[in-house]
């Protein structure tokens, strides 16, 4: 038996090995193995079984060992890896490293920890006797009884002041059992139940939901590849549809993957899912970036062994090694967060669709504002469209009011943060004890420092972007590289004392609100507060409990949150997302408005939305006001078609960067000539041009754009050409296929 192995050792090459007799039963396609390379034993993955070797068999070396008794990648995942390698022009090693967590690739690094759990319930008189005779044992047992899951032994003993002998005695009685787990639960040590679980009876589906559920069910039943796009307005009960589909799959013995854009930002959704699946007896793996290595290994093993059949997670959960995959749900499929911005630069949604295809599974994409890519696939007959046009229980869609800030500026004689209308509405809410959310676009260009006299804007010396002003510690910070300096009191260029703050940061909005609502309780959520993991959850809990009147934050806080007492939502500056050099700027703005508005009026009272803008007539704003996705898509797809932008063609972004701008430019220009010669009219090239952000972390950046009908034709050609050019060490170049960010 011969296998082709991709080593994880810093180079891309498939190496052939013989499999010794005693390992034959264990080595399979997708197995992690150790192989000899230059007198060392390196980890690698079996990508081919019985290939035609490139050297005579006698000269092949023997594979050293197999790492697990199950393959790390199922056959569909091996295929998926090969596809990603080709489609995204990513090194095979990088693809495999993205797919297989480090804890699995190198099992030895993970510590093992002892856990305690109740082994059997105690009889009433047994417990009474124990309380008398051995109160310590009773205390430990009763504590464990209140936990949902096994708890770390050392923590139990420390917290209750008990010794190991107490635990041993309980074990001897058969009341408690000890288990060994792979652990490194940093940050979760104080979280005794391992995360929130919300339980509740499933609601009765309304007619629209029932129709969608049966449409999706039919596809799941057929066990053939199908993609459904669920377009449901905000609050229409899409999550309930996803839940029913997952439940159907689990009941039939299959597995399901449920993707959300960001686990940390959707604690409510995750708690709801876990509640539903776990009360039906299905162990649910939650997969996100804050997991410790040990937790990752546990979750992975549970899925690979079939012990768990459902995983909820951010984009990398699309690689979960589940068996019998029948369904992948992609919630908020339009979210740019699904795209990974480092190698391999894959799009979680597109990978989900491709994996579903390889596994003959159903892919269910859902959104209130579908991406135009997915919508075009519906029109082209590739995806099936399902719709939910009404909010659950006939709740009204929120009323959106547009404030023309040009008029507001004239009225209030100067730049203003909050319009009269918004202030009036907020005051009304405060008096009625209802809650308000104010959103500000997250992009960091806000609150840059500008001199009123000479117009100077203070930029980062390393990144050519404006520095952001932070009031709290009187500093200017670069949001790209973290560079900071004290904020100047006079203009650094002309020395005039007329410095003012352009744009709206969350802090500035907070101050404006304090002025008009001095007695209101405010809280701010932005990247600064969100970096403290627990603070984020605390604020949400306080807001839910009604301890906060006005919540101010970036649009990220709006994801999947459902606060019944929020009756007013303000979007302070709708223009920030619209005036950026990106052909998706309109789409993003439309999505932002609709999603943000969707946070209002989820309870019994109707919601109101106030949108402040200097360009009230813009399509994105007008269609959002009418909640008219189809109208918007019609117009915007027309524009895309006219310019032959995606989804009508694929776009590939090529970035060249390095410390020497002349050299970068020279190589980029030279390269473009090569491509023109080799590919001719198969590709339309734009550039090279300096990137919109010319300099990041002291590296200069040039970019080239390729537009083409089929990325699968062009990417391999570009990769081949890359191999033919001799690149200098200080010129780095990166291909990004189907980019989501054009900066
Ligand atoms: P969406 O994801 O479309 O914005 P959700 O799935 O979050 O909407 O549903 C909004 C609210 O309606 C949730 O609180 C959910 O529990 C509730 N809900 C969903 N379906 C029903 C139903 N059929 N009957 C009653 N309540 C429902
Ligand atoms: Zn910088």
pLDDT tens, position by position, 531-548 = 666 677 788 888 888 999
User: Alpha carbon 556 to chain centroid distance?
Assistant: 11
Supply the pLDDT for residue 184: 43
Model confidence at 362: pLDDT above 90: yes
Ligand positioned closest to the Cα atom of 599: 1
Query: Which atom of ligand 1 is nearest to 388's Cα?
Result: 3
Q: What is the CATH number of the domain that holds 94?
A: 3.40.1440.60
Supply the pLDDT for residue 326: 97
- Average pLDDT score, the chain: 85
40-44, 47-51, 107-111, 737-741: segment of lowest average pLDDT: 107-111
Q: Same structural domain for residues 673 and 634? A: no
- Residue 666, number of CB atoms within 10 A of its CB: 16
Query: Which atom of ligand 1 is nearest to 239's Cα?
Result: 6
Q: Same structural domain for residues 155 and 287? A: no
| Residue among 628, 594, 640, 570 nearest 367 (CA) | 594
Report the pLDDT averaged over residues 393-412.
83
642-688 confidence digits (pLDDT tens): 888 899 999 999 999 999 989 999 999 999 999 999 888 888 888 88
Model confidence at 503: pLDDT above 60: no
For residue 131, what are the domain limits?
A: 112-182
160-164, 444-448, 575-579, 658-662: segment of lowest average pLDDT: 444-448
Stronger pLDDT, 163 or 355, i.e. the higher one:
355
Q: Compute, in angstroms, the gap from residue 705 CA to the centroid of ligand 2.
A: 25
Which residues have C-beta under 5 Å from ligand 2, the single-atom ion? 460, 462-463, 478, 480-481, 483
Last residue of a domain, one of 608, 639, 670: 639
Q: Same structural domain for residues 409 and 556? A: yes
The H-or-E segment that residue 92 falls in is helix 92-99
- Residue 173, number of CB atoms within 10 A of its CB: 16
Q: What is the CATH number of the domain that holds 518?
A: 3.40.50.300
Q: Same structural domain for residues 217 and 352? A: yes
Ligand positioned closest to the Cα atom of 391: 1
Q: Same structural domain for residues 278 and 146? A: no
Is there a contact between 509 and 422 (Cβ–Cβ < 8 Å)?
no
Model confidence at 474: pLDDT above 90: no
Q: Compute, in angstroms, the gap from residue 129 CA to the centroid of ligand 1.
A: 49
Ligand positioned closest to the Cα atom of 268: 1
* Phi, psi dihedrals of residue 404, rounded to the nearest 5°: -85, 105
Stronger pLDDT, 599 or 671, i.e. the higher one:
671
**Assigned domain for 281 exists:** yes
| Residue among 484, 435, 425 nearest 458 (CA) | 484
Q: Same structural domain for residues 259 and 378? A: yes
**Assigned domain for 254 exists:** yes
State the pLDDT confidence band at 193, using cuts at 50, 70 and 90: very low
Q: How many Å from the N-terminal Cα to the C-terminal Cα in the chain?
A: 49
- Hey, whose CA ends up nearest to atom 4 of ligand 1? 235
Q: Compute, in angstroms, the gap from residue 213 CA to the centroid of ligand 1.
A: 14
Burial 575-594 (b: 16+ CB within 10 A, else e): bbbbebebebebbbbbbbbb
Model confidence at 92: pLDDT above 90: yes
Stronger pLDDT, 556 or 732, i.e. the higher one:
732
Q: Compute, in angstroms, the gap from residue 284 CA to the centroid of ligand 1.
A: 21
Stronger pLDDT, 532 or 635, i.e. the higher one:
635
Which distant-in-sequence residues (6+ apart) come within 8 Å of 309 by Cβ? 250, 254, 255, 256, 282, 283, 303, 322, 323, 324
**Assigned domain for 495 exists:** no
Stronger pLDDT, 241 or 154, i.e. the higher one:
241
Which distant-in-sequence residues (6+ apart) come within 8 Å of 57 by Cβ? 2, 18
Is there a contact between 225 and 231 (Cβ–Cβ < 8 Å)?
no
Distances (CA, A) of 487 to 452, 466, 493: 16, 13, 13
Supply the pLDDT for residue 189: 29
User: Alpha carbon 99 to chain centroid distance?
Assistant: 15
Q: How far apart are CA 270 and CA 264, in angstroms?
A: 9
Pair type for strands 650-658 and 699-708: antiparallel
Query: Which atom of ligand 1 is nearest to 236's Cα?
Result: 3
Q: Same structural domain for residues 220 and 337? A: yes
The 3-state DSSP class for residue 219 equals: helix
**Assigned domain for 89 exists:** yes
Model confidence at 461: pLDDT above 90: no
- Please report the sign of the dihedral spanned by the C-alpha atoms of residue 615, residue 616, residue 622, residue 627: positive
**Assigned domain for 374 exists:** yes
Is there a contact between 338 and 373 (Cβ–Cβ < 8 Å)?
no
Which of the 8 DSSP states describes residue 466? B
Is there a contact between 390 and 233 (Cβ–Cβ < 8 Å)?
yes
Last residue of a domain, one of 371, 392, 413: 392
Supply the pLDDT for residue 582: 72
Model confidence at 186: pLDDT above 50: no
Instruction: Count structural domains, the chain.
Output: 5
Which distant-in-sequence residues (6+ apart) come within 8 Å of 237 by Cβ? 203, 205, 206, 209, 388, 392
* Phi, psi dihedrals of residue 683, rounded to the nearest 5°: -145, 140
**Assigned domain for 632 exists:** yes
Q: Same structural domain for residues 565 and 625? A: yes
Q: Same structural domain for residues 357 and 225? A: yes
Model confidence at 377: pLDDT above 90: yes
Q: Same structural domain for residues 556 and 632? A: yes
In what order do the strands lie in the sheet containing 399-404?
399-404, 608-613, 566-571, 435-440, 550-554, 522-525
Model confidence at 233: pLDDT above 80: yes
Counting beta carbons within 10 angstroms of the beta carbon of residue 145, is it exposed (0 to 12), middle (13 to 18) or buried (19 or more)? middle
Q: Compute, in angstroms, the gap from residue 460 CA to the centroid of ligand 2.
A: 5
The 3-state DSSP class for residue 243 equals: helix
> Phi-psi region for residue 559, left (φ > 0), alpha (ψ -120 to 50) or beta?
beta
Q: Same structural domain for residues 131 and 229? A: no
396-405, 526-535, 589-598: segment of lowest average pLDDT: 526-535
Q: Compute, in angstroms, the gap from residue 466 CA to the centroid of ligand 2.
A: 9
- Hey, whose CA ends up nearest to atom 18 of ligand 1? 237
Which residues, judged by CB distance below 6 Å to any ligand atom, belong to the binding site of ligand 1?
203-206, 209, 232, 234-240, 392-393, 562
163-177, 396-410, 487-501: segment of lowest average pLDDT: 487-501
Supply the pLDDT for residue 596: 82
- Hey, whose CA ends up nearest to atom 15 of ligand 1? 237
| Residue among 443, 459, 442, 440 nearest 451 (CA) | 459
Q: For a ligand 1 pocket test, name from 240, 387, 565, 600 the mutation site with the most ligand atoms within 8 angstroms of its C-beta.
A: 240
Model confidence at 85: pLDDT above 60: yes
Ligand positioned closest to the Cα atom of 482: 2
Supply the pLDDT for residue 194: 42
Ligand positioned closest to the Cα atom of 389: 1
Q: Same structural domain for residues 233 and 308? A: yes
Q: For a ligand 1 pocket test, name from 239, 247, 558 the mutation site with the most ligand atoms within 8 angstroms of its C-beta.
A: 239
Last residue of a domain, one of 59, 80, 100: 100
Which of the 8 DSSP states describes residue 282? -
**Assigned domain for 473 exists:** no
Q: For a ligand 1 pocket test, name from 392, 596, 607 the mutation site with the most ligand atoms within 8 angstroms of its C-beta.
A: 392
269-291 confidence digits (pLDDT tens): 778 888 888 888 888 898 887 77
Q: How far apart are CA 197 and CA 191, in angstroms?
A: 13
Q: Compute, in angstroms, the gap from residue 392 CA to the centroid of ligand 1.
A: 6
Q: Across the strands, what pairs with 609?
A: 400, 569
Give the start-end residues of each E strand in 50-170: 65-66, 112-118, 151-152
Report the pLDDT averaged over residues 7-30.
91
Q: What is the CATH number of the domain that holds 712?
A: 3.30.70.600
Q: Compute, in angstroms, the gap from residue 444 CA to the centroid of ligand 2.
A: 12
**Assigned domain for 468 exists:** no
- Hey, whose CA ends up nearest to atom 14 of ligand 1? 562
307-348 confidence digits (pLDDT tens): 899 999 999 999 999 999 999 999 999 999 899 989 999 999
């Amino acid at each position: 038996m011969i296998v082709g192995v991709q080593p994880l050792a810093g180079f891309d090459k498939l190496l052939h090995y013989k499999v010794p007799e005693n390992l034959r039963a264990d080595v399979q396609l997708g197995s992690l193995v150790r192989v000899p390379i230059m007198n060392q034993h390196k980890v690698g993955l079996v990508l081919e079984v019985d290939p035609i070797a490139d050297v005579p068999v006698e000269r092949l070396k023997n594979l050293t060992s197999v790492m697990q008794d199950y393959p790390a990648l199922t056959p569909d995942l091996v295929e998926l890896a090969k596809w990603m390698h080709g489609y995204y022009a990513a090194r095979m090693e990088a693809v495999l490293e993205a797919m297989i967590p480090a804890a699995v690739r190198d099992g030895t690094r993970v510590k093992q920890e002892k856990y305690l759990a109740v082994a059997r319930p105690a009889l009433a008189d047994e417990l009474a006797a124990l309380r008398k005779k051995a109160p310590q044992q009773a205390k430990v047992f009763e504590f464990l009884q209140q936990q949902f899951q096994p708890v770390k032994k050392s923590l139990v003993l420390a917290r209750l002041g008990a010794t190991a002998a107490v635990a041993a005695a309980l074990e001897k009685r058969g009341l408690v059992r000890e288990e060994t787990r792979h652990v490194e639960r940093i940050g979760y040590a104080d979280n005794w139940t391992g995360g929130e679980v919300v339980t509740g009876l499933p609601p009765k589906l309304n007619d629209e939901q029932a129709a969608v559920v049966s449409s999706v069910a039919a596809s799941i039943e057929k066990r053939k590849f199908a993609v459904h796009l669920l377009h449901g307005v905000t609050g229409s009960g899409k999550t309930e549809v996803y839940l029913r589909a997952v439940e159907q799959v689990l009941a039939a013995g299959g597995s399901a993957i449920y993707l959300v854009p960001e686990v940390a930002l959707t604690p409510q959704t995750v708690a709801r899912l876990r509640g539903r699946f776990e009360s039906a007896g299905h162990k649910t793996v939650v997969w996100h970036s804050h997991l410790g290595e040990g937790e990752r290994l546990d979750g992975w093993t549970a899925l690979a062994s079939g012990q768990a059949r459902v995983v909820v997670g951010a984009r990398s959960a699309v690689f979960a090694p589940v068996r019998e995959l029948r369904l992948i749900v992609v919630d908020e499929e339009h979210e740019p967060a699904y795209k990974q911005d480092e190698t391999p630069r894959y799009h979680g949604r597109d990978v989900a669709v491709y994996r579903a295809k390889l596994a003959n599974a159903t892919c269910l994409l859902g959104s209130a504002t579908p991406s135009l890519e997915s919508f075009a696939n519906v029109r082209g007959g590739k995806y099936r469209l399902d719709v939910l046009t009404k909010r659950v229980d006939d709740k009204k869609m929120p009323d959106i009011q547009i404030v023309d800030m040009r008029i507001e500026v004239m009225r209030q004689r100067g730049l203003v943060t909050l319009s009269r209308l918004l202030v009036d509405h907020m005051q009304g809410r405060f008096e009625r004890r209802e809650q308000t959310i104010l959103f500000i676009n997250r992009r960091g260009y806000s609150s840059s420092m500008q001199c009123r006299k000479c117009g100077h804007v203070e930029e980062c010396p390393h990144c050519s972007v404006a520095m952001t002003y932070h009031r709290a510690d009187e500093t200017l910070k670069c949001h790209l590289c973290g560079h900071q300096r004290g904020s100047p009191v006079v203009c650094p260029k002309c020395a005039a004392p007329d410095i003012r703050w352009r744009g709206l940061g969350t802090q500035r909005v907070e101050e404006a609100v304090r002025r008009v609502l001095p007695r209101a309780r405010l809280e701010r959520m932005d990247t600064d507060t969100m970096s403290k993991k627990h603070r984020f959850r605390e604020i949400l809990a306080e807001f839910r409990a009604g301890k906060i009147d006005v919540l101010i934050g970036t649009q990220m806080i709006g994801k999947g949150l459902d606060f019944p007492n929020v009756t007013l939502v303000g979007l302070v500056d709708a223009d920030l997302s619209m005036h950026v050099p990106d052909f998706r700027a309109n789409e993003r703005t439309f999505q932002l408005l609709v999603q943000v508005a969707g946070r209002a009026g989820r309870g019994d009272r109707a919601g109101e939305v106030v949108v402040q803008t200097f360009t009230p007539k813009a399509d994105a704003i007008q269609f959002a006001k009418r909640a008219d996705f189809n109208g918007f898509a019609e117009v915007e797809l027309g524009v895309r078609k006219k310019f032959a932008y995606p989804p009508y063609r694929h776009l590939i972004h090529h970035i060249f960067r390095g410390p020497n701008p002349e050299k970068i430019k020279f190589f980029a220009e030279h390269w473009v000539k090569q491509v023109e010669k080799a590919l001719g009219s198969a590709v339309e090239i734009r550039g090279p041009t300096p990137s919109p952000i010319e300099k990041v972390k002291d590296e200069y950046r040039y970019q080239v754009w390729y537009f083409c009908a089929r990325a699968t034709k062009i990417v391999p050609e570009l990769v081949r050409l890359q191999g033919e050019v001799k690149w200098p060490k200080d010129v780095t170049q990166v291909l990004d296929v189907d980019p989501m960010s054009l900066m």
